[in-house]
Structure 1
């Protein structure tokens, strides 16, 4: 179970990464809309698992690989934004959040 502090740090990272993707997304990820759906932080605040939803959902693996290649840049930008709130900026690991695709699939099955 996550503590209050871990939740607050996770929400802070989610908010700031969302703004970074919004500002830099068009230039770095053309034709894609990226949404940070959830951030889970390890108890020692050294690793943050970032779940990203990608729209449109074509070539998500290629886009995720591109995000992972730019993780150092994203961590640096995050560090500039939260340097007064966090002492150590966690390592970012990115994962695809396919819950929207799953919901859409269930919805299509129910319509049949």
Structure 2
């Protein structure tokens, strides 16, 4: 479970990374809209794991690879923004957030389920009167 400090730092990094992707690094997105869905920070605040979602979904792996190759640039930009709040700028790790795809897949599975109707309740009433 994350401490309050980890959660606060994670939210701040999430906000700052969103602004960085919009203003300072639009060239990394290749025309896609990038959403930082979550940021998880280690207890020592040394590593921040950012989960990204892309719209449209085309070339997700390619965009993620481009972002991972430019981690040093993104960390520098993040450091410029959080230098007065954090003693150490965390190392950034970027992951693809597949929560929406997972939810869609689960919805599809549930919609494909065939649930037989419940047996009529008359059978239960007859059994209880005979006893």
Q: Which moved more, 1:19-28 or 1:74-83?
A: 19-28
TM (norm. structure 1) is: 0.90
| Residue in 1 that maps onto 2:51 | 51
Q: Structure 2: where are the runs of 5+ without partners?
A: 113-131
Structure with more relative contact order (C-alpha pairs < 8 Å, separation 6 or more)? 1
1:15-72 Cα offsets, whole Å, 9 max, x none, are 0001111114533322211100000000111111110011122221111100001111
Question: Which residue of structure 2 lines up, in the alignment, with residue 67 of structure 1?
Answer: 67
RMSD: 1.6
Q: If you compute each CA radius of gyration, which structure gives the higher value, 1 or 2?
A: 2
Please, which runs of 5 or more residues in structure 1 have no aligned partner? none
Q: How many residues align?
A: 112
Map of 1:97 onto structure 2: 97
Q: Hey, what's the Cα distance between the residues in 2 that align with 1:25 and 1:105? A: 32
SS at match of 1:92: strand
TM-score by length of 2: 0.78
